[in-house]
A and B are shown apart, each in its own frame.
Chain A
Amino acid sequence: MDNYVVEMLNIRKEFPGIVANNNINLQLRKGEIHALLGENGAGKSTLMNVLFGLYQPEKGEIRVKGKPVKITDPNVANRLGIGMVHQHFMLVETFTVAQNIILGSEPTKAGAIVDLKKAEAEITELSERYGLRVDPKAKIRDISVGMQQRVEILKTLYRGADVIILDEPTAVLTPQEIKELINIMKALIKEGISIILITHKLKEIMEVCDRCTVIRKGEGIGTVNVSETNVDELASLMVGRDISFKTDKQAANPEAVVLSVKNLEVKDARAATMVKGLNLDIRAGEIVGIAGVDGNGQSELIEAITGLRKVESGEILLNNKPLTNLSPRKVTESGVAHIPQDRHKFGLVLDYPIGENIVLQTYYQKPYSKYKILSFKNIYQHASKLIEEYDVRTPSPRTKARALSGGNQQKAIIAREVDRSPDLLIAVQPTRGLDVGAIENIHKRLIEERDKGRAVLLVSFELDEIMNVSDKIAVMFDGKIVAEVKPEETNEQELGLLMAGSNKAKAGDV
């Protein structure tokens, strides 16, 4: 008989109007890494919140170590040895690692005084046992995101968890940090800890997981052994149809230079120089992908091109006309479109209807307004057309942007940007947080735009995306382009080294 630490049997959870989980089974073996796979909105988080005691299921049974249990709140889950690391960390920035870890279960001496020394010793011991390498005295705000995540893992271990739920842990990490996390997960299971990994990244599942439970639209699809499956099968289980990973595309036909960046210098908000004499050319009909670890000046470069940030020195030319330090509106009018990294902060006014978001840069032009008076008829006519053309799923063009799913919000932004027929299309992390179906669609769009003879600049921290979509890869490190390579002549190892600033950089063979 199998030795299950956690069993969730025939779980059903309803919310008003929708069934979030129906008839889902998940059985976690001791010492395994078990993937929970599903698209955004498939019901993964609901299922885990049921296990963690945040929701009560309408039907079904949960057993921990063979015994049926009722998990009424997260404290009960903790007592049963279940810990959860949320996607958004729950840490006090100004506290030290140790202070954060003991928060809520502080060891005391003399009844009332927090025994921080004892806690620090215990944390050091735990951290060494699992290879986490965390300094208990460091302040949270001073340590990297990867380190913060390890603090969250330590927090669950400190509370005695032997089942850890990781909610999309790699979404916020760099490729190097992902490698470290994978090693940590392997160390954890060696010590008898069991892990549930919530994800929609198939490669990670293939790399670390033993088994994988798939849910689709709230329904349990089944559990497969990872060693007996492959990426394509997992993808079709998740989406319910076949997915092509290699984005189909013809060879590029680069023509005249559209964007030319010369000796660009840009400072960030704290007046640190982030872009240091950068040179870059992009031609019509090609996609140039910028690969690099977050924080090497990519955001500042894009903001400088789009007029959101001041250029200190150097020059930006669009079709041989100066673009340097023009206002965002002038940049837009010159033929630049920008799919921003943070679609909630920059891309959309979430409280505006989706239709009014579609004219966010063009509302002042005819036919959307005349003598400063808006023509809602023309705005919504145009919006409805784009919504249909780009398959934005929304109940109505008058629905607030906030109510749409991330993928549909992104499709609306892309529709808006692409529809202006820009000469240069800038896409920053265009598929962040989206599921495979939406990613496939967006990649297709970018390539279509290239084939229409537009210059496309893609910034992404996902190497897969860069390798798949780009015609030319420019590696950015420390504010400069350190190498330009062709995707078919390189591999992830080489790119990883270049992104880390290795001197083995090939002389740019463009």
Chain B
Amino acid sequence: MLYKLIVLLPVIGALIGGLLGRWIGHRGAEIITSSLLVLSAILSCVAFYQVAIAGQGPEEAITFFRWFDVGAFEADWALRIDTLTVVMMVVVTGVSSLVHIYSIGYMSHDPHRARFFSYLSLFTFAMLALVTADNLLQMFFGWEGVGLASYLLIGFWYKKPSANAAAIKAFLVNRVGDFGFAIGIMAIFFVFDAVDFDTIFAKAPELAGTNFLFLGQSVDVLTTICLLLFVGAMGKSAQIFLHTWLPDAMEGPTPVSALIHAATMVTAGVFLVCRMSYLFEYAPDALYVVTLVGAVTAFFAASVALVQNDIKRVIAYSTCSQLGYMFFAAGLGAYDAAMFHLFTHAFFKALLFLCAGSVIHGMSDEQDMRNMGGLFKYLPWTGMLMIIGTLSITGVGIPHTLIGFSGFVSKDAIIEGAYAVGTPIGGFAFWIGLIAAAMTAFYSWRLIFMTFFGRPRAPIDIMSHVHESPATMMIPLLVLAFGAIFAGIALQSLFIGSASEGFWGDALLVLGSTGHEVVEAAEQGAHDLPNWVVLGPFVVMLLGLTWAAYWYLKRPDIPERIAANRGLLYLFLLNKWYFDEIYDFLFVRPAKRLGRFLWKRGDGWLIDGFGPDGVAALVLGTTRRAIKLQTGYIYHYAFAMLIGVAAAATYLYVKAVGAL
């Protein structure tokens, strides 16, 4: 009942807000959806305690009803409650409820708030359906559900063309990933004859190493399946090649960016890989790819974030980069570290986004950092909280201890773990992680310095209006800041430390001496990691910080000069490695040309011309001729009759004569 309530409360809120919004008013919709979400969050915490800490979770999936029952194709509508689920539940409902409350303040001037809150709750429901799924089909439902909600929320300001374009882009790019995911599900059903996790997981070991023929090549079954699933994860989690939608998605309202495009939906891919650890563990090649993609993304996104000027885009690329960390952690087998980073990341990234929202709110919807600066004395609270978030993301803490901000605890665990794995790919990931950490520090502090310090670059009339946000926006920020500071220290032992064995239970599977054990060992200090490895992340962080401080506080003329010179590297980064341009050239324009061709020639000329339009014209032409027959003259009529008789007689006569 508890678990069912957690999932159902948001959808109730969404229905009330969406269908009855007109009658209960904006205030009513806000209060109802938010309070239902808060209730759901509290229940999630209870569930977290019961399942993960007290170990009293339900033994079996909680079934609502049977969804599909077609031959071997069976799927229930059920909740799978284990540690993985409740961790995600806490993240989702927690951030969602805070975002709901924040939005009350943030969206207070919007005329369509009821719709907004309904969408938010709908998203939360879909996300919960995703994380509680007992089978791949339900997961796919949630997967598409969050995609839909994301589309609706990015395009919430539907009168803005850029928002519509961004929404469509997000939807289409995700379609690529979802296509892979869907094929993966079909492949699983084809191979396993089932879509529910218990059956799949139980059968996975038997199928390890089996091959099938594809285009004459022998291909490993599980690797194929896992790669297909990973394509889905890449789309949803904005990994390189399928990342292009995420920065554009910042066209949506900022709370949406915080909830969907930072804390929850984009982590669905990581969750998927962790959830399917029972499969991935038997497909080492797939894990290799996961690591590679994750590492490259971490590097790529961080590099692009270095030069972006839109405050939300910087954070968006930062999200992309952090997701890369999670993926390569998962790829190295450190699912627990990945989940831990996911957990802490939700706090500090949501905090950063909401703070950015607060800045934007205060700056009368200005998003370009070049027009900010010196805001700290106008927005002291926001500034403080944002610095906390930055300290957390850059990983400030005391090396060799577990004392530090959340980001320090989780990210350093990943980087150290990567080194400790000892494989070449692990080493690659380690170095990439290290470089990305330096860049993270740089761009994060660059954001802080450009926004809050230095001389104000905004026009006077905007500066005079700059104001701190209302309490409804600040309270969620405080809660998130609390998490950003302490979540790492408090929960480290549970997620990746000494108690992690009992904490995760059967939710994750790790085979052999991979990252998981290494991380665990490292954190307990039993493993001998070289000193420089432990100190590495901290040092590069300091390096990035110092560099940023030098450039943006001491010598703001240097970055300005670089920007003005438009060097090749600068342009390369500013234009996000030219991904959008390449895609535009490779896919978008040919597709548009094809679409135009099919539309104009195929549909307009061929189908309409010979179909509806042609037939209609033919009918009208025939009609005109038929009406012309009706002249009104009796002798014409008589003629028609006589000709009819003559024709019939002649026909039959000829026929009869012919028959003789």
State yes or no: do A and B come from one complex: no
Binding site for A on B (CB under 8 A): none
